[in-house]
Structure 1
């Protein structure tokens, strides 16, 4: 027996030793791809030596003799830290994810092949100006230099993910960078889905006026500068809507986002007259889906025009939001209506033809093959009309709005084969004046942005991006799909750049955009019927006009503000007949729980503080209220509304144009009032809260439900690994606060923070060296790197790191200096 026990001990010890060796071996393999920032390396294509100085936050400061060398070094630095992310972005744009991930990503690849984003990017390369083409080629040489170094030095395939998803990496080319810019347009555009949703609503709502309730136009006139301080679809033409069920879970690899999670952002500027220190101020925080690593990457470049520092996207040689010594710029999603769905009539005698204003024409057709890991390849037939690519009914619920004998096509500025957005970005970085920056904007095509620019003494804001020219007699004004064979429904080209809204040096000294309506012009110069914000703008106005002059710190305070104007305005409306009414109820009863919840909300100031219970009660109530209002009228289509629009709630509870009709449950005999529905919705919310968090309402924490979900798109769902690669943090803010933390709206955790400001920057031209910025994760995409999540806690706490162009400051705290030399004999 003792002998058996001795052998068991030996076997157990051997197994432990093998496990330790396996872990050490795995760590050795994975750590081989950790970049060495302190070295000298010869690479091909350089004109002279280049220095990459990494400061203590791992931000590369790149110094070279020529711009081409600087862009080449940026490509090298991006590939050092974010190679996996870059390759996945490129594969997404190319429609080649399935070669790595198998059938999981086939639907994504099919859609991207139909869009032909990458084909348009390849065609667009030759439309860039010579300086931009040189920058793109140099950047590609830098990425390829890192690929060559990985191969020559056996550096762990370049990223840990490559061991799990081994696939060859093709050399980087200029079109790859252009394609990633176009991919951003895919992520930020939502008008296609909104058009289809509006059309679907017209088929289920008996009263067309109710469509204006649930998809309301942004009220009021446009806001940008503040004042001085002191039937196309006939009945029976469409198929019946399919049965319900919740929307399919969003694949983290998909670039398509539901309208509620399309791009958003804040940017605001102050002129010297409104600045305490006498210099201009600019704050910018673009909002995109949270991920690990962040889509943003901080960098400083020394160009011929001087230093430039700010936020880049790995794969793209641009500082998209940042500053130079003389100029600062920020971007926000413009919500320009840059997409139109067309219903194309097929020739009943030849389905390969479709109707045009001049008769039937043949589809432009070609085939493409999608290779799939561990499965047979799929051959896809792509069809295109004069209006754009044909999309299948299985995408975007198009089958529900496409009559028999018809197909849907898409016009979209992002599909332009003459897209010079990259050239615009290069020109913007070199601009030394407001005039030069705004002139650079003429080359922007997609995604459309509102560009906010400040110089030392001036401020300006202009929408940049191609505005489609629509006919004044367009059937639907772009609100819904239209008949593609009618000439006045087709795009008539592009409006002149002068038609883009512009605001320069306003008398009030303040400019800003929170994705709100910026102009109120009649169609077809309207810019959009669908804007991204009707709420944050009110809080921004109050903060800007609440003080005569601003400082860097007051701009930071506004950027971090978590007070919900929406909560302050809606709670008195929906709870008007519930507060302090009725008799006291016994402890432990539903009525008593409701009274406790109402008492908490009555004393609440609307601050979405992560440590408070009121934000969770309010958010759950608003969500339950939306469900109560939607379900009876919309049936299965109610699942499309994951977030309750505050303007819709206000219309209903104020009975604007008869909107209170939403409160009556048609399928019940009694006539319910809006007070009845508000009470029932609050009870629904409290049932959900108690089942999830218990009955101790006073102990609830909004941050427990509103966790920032920065998950790795691929490894984030792998058991064991997810604890190393995912970044989860308790956060404040909410759907409608300036510090926006957009909730998912679906699934078992509907209040997770999934869409927020992955980058924040505040630029102070009274003291440019005091400017600050931050990203939401860390610079590195390697989860074994200490720079993978080192900035995440600073971001969560609302802190920043210095944004200095002083090379000596960067060198003083450098964690490494990489010297790139021209390859001998090159």
Structure 2
């Protein structure tokens, strides 16, 4: 008995020691926000003050030292995120996550981002200020890799830390550029529908620009039947498995002094990006005697994509221009190494890659390229048709100067210098928003635009053989849409259609007018905006479009088919103001009904797979309001029914009935229980959080959230058969820069500053974000030093 007790005691001691040891070990993996560290390459001491939310405020005597310290602190909070982002373009995700990511790696390798990066680096001026700051930043990142603790994800995946290079920076920017492109989802699908169903069906889709919607105003004072669907399916499959978020849309507006209470410029910006944990942006305030910027950084990118100082502020939204086209190619039947052009047969380029796969054998991957780009046949296993399709992407066709552009805009001191840097942005297409302390406001659509031949639509797969469907010319930057200090005293963008210049409309995949209409309504009717009222506007959850759409569709309901309870809810819906609060019943009934309108309209002709692809496009979003007012059209009839020709009235009545039935099934017969908070939820998912045992430690949420798709507080979700609207995309930050009180400008992140699950700043902003609250973006050095929670000092190494 005594022996048994001794064994139990020994086991208890061992368990306690293991727990203590594990706790001590885990504690060593946390970011270090205080103390002193030596770092090779510094010329002088650098001090980093951390505020109460873990934002670093970096003070140095030189920019190189500041950027080196930035690299270190960025890496200690976000190294895992940096690691994943640099792997996408070069096909390195399978090495982390296994065979499920092989198709995704194949797809991204075929885009040629990594090859384009290599070509760019052969021509880079390593002595330029841009390259010098990039290399200083990378020195800081690599110093952390060599000397800092290893993030827990590296232990969980068995991944080895490796140094970062300038190649990784360019590859990260290339990934961002591709996620902005919508043509990969839309062009093949439209081509397939055209071949399968005919032109008449396409005439009833909102494909081209609609002159009745809200456009951004300029101001210048000077086939084969099935291949397309398979390509779309392959791209969708590859993107769905990405463990990092996609860039999707955004809002921004800048108010001139005439529109504000203080007579000073106010800038608001909330880029819409896929939610994930960690969130996209890393905040950092960098200050030297000759440079200061409070910025938002992508993982592994030295220069902030969003930023401000005491002189100027800038933000970004997606332009949504068409910078990606598909071409049908013709291969030589007698010689598979050649393809046809208007000048005769030319040699195909063959690219060979090796994909390392975790817990599996290496995969040898070969793809072919024409003058247009990679041939997608064979990239995914389901594409087996003979007719080749190549993808032409502006990002890989032209010289890459995006980092030069970022260096230029971050170092500009006035509007003219800022504008000079913008022509270096060729892709992705961006709406660049600007405001400054001098009272200037501006918007530029920054991208390398091109003109296609007359009557050629780039929304379909083009003829790659004839030479007659190639771009006619590239436009000069001066021809891009823009507005500088317009007489209506504000600029804005909500990813909507820009107005024409010189009689030309720029093709793109613009989002519908919903957010733009609401922004313009609010801005036009008020001239005394301040920080508080702008912060209320950026949280606005009211649609100006949906109530109008409801009114149109309710007219079509035959009330003789409705019971008393349904009549009550229809009456509520008819009086709905379009607001998406947590307790709204009408919001839920509207979206259930709208989904079934889409399903009952399109799925019979498209089939389940193509309908699913259609739901993922901006085309679907544009079609909702436009199509609902179409009294007659090919899509209304259900081709699967033989005895009746359905009309819009039939579809609306059936869709309301289907929505009602589904709500009763999900929430019971009492409509008072059908509230928005039951279905509209947000969970920030970590790439490893899909493992059930790790979910509660790595994921953040879920939270019921206000807002919806295409309102200013754009909490977007995919439509699907579940009827539950799990938010996938939304404001990746909410920023309000007020030049009347620049040191008290405000912002918020969706979860927290740190991507390290062991950090206290991993999710300390999550509930503030859900509640619509903000925190200060501190810039006053005395305030920062006196309120700082911790201080980290870097000193030069003696070696």
TM over 0.5: yes
Distance 1:132 1:91, change over 3 A: same
Question: Which residue of the partner structure matches residue 133 of structure 1?
Answer: 131
Aligned ranges 1:602-751 → 2 under 5 Å: 602-636=574-608, 637-642=610-615, 645=620, 647-655=622-630, 658-659=632-633, 662-663=636-637, 667-713=641-687, 715-727=688-700, 728-746=702-720, 748=722, 750-751=724-725
2:767 aligns to what SS in structure 1? helix
Pick aligned residue for 1:428 from 391, 397, 409: 409
Asked whether the 8 Å contact 1:226–1:509 carries over to 2, the reply is no
Question: What is the CA-CA distance between 1:209 and the residue it aligns to?
Answer: 4.6
Does 2:777 match 1:798?
no
User: In the alignment, is residue 814 of structure 1 matched against residue 788 of structure 2?
Assistant: yes
RMSD between superposed Cα atoms in Å = 2.8
Q: Is the 8 A contact 2:113 2:171 kept in 1?
A: yes
Q: Secondary structure at the match of 2:433?
A: strand
- Report the Cα distance in structure 2 between the residues aligned to 1:705 and 1:313, rounded to whole angstroms: 31
Instruction: Give how far 1:239 is off.
Output: 6.0
Structure 2 residue aligned with 1:43, among 39, 45, 68? 39
Unaligned runs of 5+ in 1: 228-232, 586-590
Distance between the aligned counterparts of 2:230 and 2:440, measured in 1?
A: 55
- Partners of 2:383 and 2:547 lie apart in 1 by 38
> Corresponding residue for 2:499?
519
Of the three residues 440, 460, 478, the one matched with 1:458 is: 440
In structure 2, the CA distance between the partners of 1:479 and 1:389, relative to structure 1 (3 Å rule), is: same
Compare 273-282 and 27-36 and name the one that shifted more. Answer: 27-36
Q: Please state how far the C-alpha of 1:593 moved relative to its aligned partner.
A: 4.6
Determine helix, strand or coil for the equivalent of 1:717: coil
Is the partner of 1:345 in helix, strand or coil?
Answer: coil
| 356-365 vs 119-128, which moves further | 119-128
Do residues 220 (structure 1) and 216 (structure 2) align?
no
Question: How far, CA to CA, are the matches of 2:146 and 2:232 in structure 1?
Answer: 52
Aligned-partner Cα distance in 2 for 1:687–1:238: 35
Separation of aligned partners in 2, 1:83 and 1:276:
43
Partner of 2:572: 600
**Structure 2 counterpart of 1:149:** 147
Change (3 A) 1:430 1:205: same
Question: Alignment length, in residue pairs?
Answer: 788
Pick closer, same or farther for the CA change 1:548–1:691 going to 2, 3 Å.
same
Q: Which moved more, 1:296-305 or 1:434-443?
A: 296-305
User: What whole-Å deviation, never above 9, does each CA across 1:499-530 have from its counterpart, x for those lacking one?
Assistant: 2111110001011000001123589x532242
Conserved? CA contact 2:214–2:517, under 8 Å = no
Q: Which whole-Å CA distance do the structure 2 matches of 1:331 and 1:490 have between them?
A: 30
Separation in 1, partners of 2:291, 2:402: 22
Q: Distance in 1 between matches of 2:621 and 2:108?
A: 34
Distance of 2:786 and 2:614 partners within structure 1: 52
Residue pair 1:298, 1:312 contacting (<8 A) in 2 also: yes
Paired residues of 1:460 and 1:505 also in contact (CA < 8 A): yes
CA distance in 2, matches of 1:175, 1:744: 34
TM-superposed deviation, 1:762: 0.5
Q: Which residue, out of 493, 512, 525, partners 1:546?
A: 525
SS in 1 for 2:41: coil
1:92 equivalenced with 2:88 (yes/no): yes
Q: Residues 279-318 of structure 1: CA distance to partner in whole angstroms, max 9, x if unpaired?
A: 0111000001000110111111125543211311121111
Mapped contact 1:265–1:514 kept (Cα < 8 A)? yes
1:311 equivalent among 291, 296, 299: 296
Q: Call closer, same or farther: CA 1:488–1:255 in 2, change over 3 Å.
A: farther
In 1, Cα distance between equivalents of 2:281 and 2:672:
38
Secondary structure in structure 2 of the residue aligned to 1:300: strand
Equivalent position to 2:100, from 99, 104, 112: 104
Q: 1:673 to 1:464 in 2, by over 3 A?
A: same
Q: Deviations over 1:715-757 (max 9, x none)?
A: 2111121012111221111111010011122364641111001
Q: Where does residue 480 of structure 2 map in the other structure?
A: 500
2:160 matched to 1:168? Answer: yes
Q: Does 1:73 align with 2:69?
A: yes
Separation in 2 of the partners of 1:244 and 1:691?
A: 33
Distance apart, 1:240 and its partner CA: 9.8
Measured after TM superposition, the shift of residue 681 of structure 1 is: 0.8
Q: Secondary structure of 1:124's match?
A: helix
Indicate the SS of the match to 1:208. Answer: helix
CA contact (8 A) 1:266 1:513 kept: yes
Give the Cα separation in 1 of the matches to 2:253 and 2:367. 43
Tell me how far apart the structure 1 counterparts of residues 237 and 20 of structure 2 sit (CA, whole Å): 40
Report the secondary structure of 2:560's partner residue.
coil
Q: Which stretch of the first structure deviates more once superposed, 763-772 or 204-213?
A: 204-213
Query: Which residue in the other structure is 1:278 paired with?
Result: 263
Q: 1:495 to 1:13 in 2, by over 3 A?
A: farther
Check conservation: 2:145, 2:162, Cα contact below 8 A.
Answer: no
Q: Aligned-pair distance for 1:362?
A: 1.1
- Aligned-partner Cα distance in 1 for 2:551–2:704: 28
Aligned to 1:537: 516
Q: How has the CA–CA distance of structure 1 residues 14 and 700 changed in structure 2, closer, same or farther, with 3 Å as cutoff?
A: farther
- 8 A contact 2:320–2:508 mirrored in 1: no
SS at match of 1:372: coil
Question: Structure 1 residue 756 and structure 2 residue 730: aligned?
Answer: yes
Matches within 5 A, 1:559-578: 559-578=538-557
Preserved CA contact (<8 Å) 1:535 1:565: yes
Matched, 1:253 2:242: yes
- Give structure 2 stretches of 5+ with no counterpart: none
Pair 1:329-2:309 in alignment: no
Equivalent position of 1:440 in the other structure: 421
Deviation at 1:532, TM superposition (A): 2.3
- Residues 559-568 or 115-124, more deviating: 115-124
* Distance of 2:262 and 2:245 partners within structure 1: 43
Contact 2:367/2:378, CA 8 A, preserved across alignment: no
Distance 2:727 2:146 in 1: 39
1:282 and 1:763 in contact (8 A); partners too: yes
User: Quick check: 1:127–1:420 contact (8 Å CA) kept in 2?
Assistant: no
Preserved contact between residue 652 and residue 659 of structure 1 (Cα < 8 Å)? no
Distance 2:674 2:482 in 1: 46
2:295 aligned with 1:320: no
Asked if 1:364 is matched to 2:349, the reply is yes
> Secondary structure of the residue that 1:795 maps to in structure 2?
helix
CA distance in 1, matches of 2:486, 2:232: 50
Alpha-carbon spacing, 1:364–1:206, altered in 2? closer, same or farther (3 Å): closer
Deviations 1:311-352 (A, max 9, x none): 111211112112111001010000011111111110111111
Q: 1:698 to 1:222 in 2, by over 3 A?
A: closer
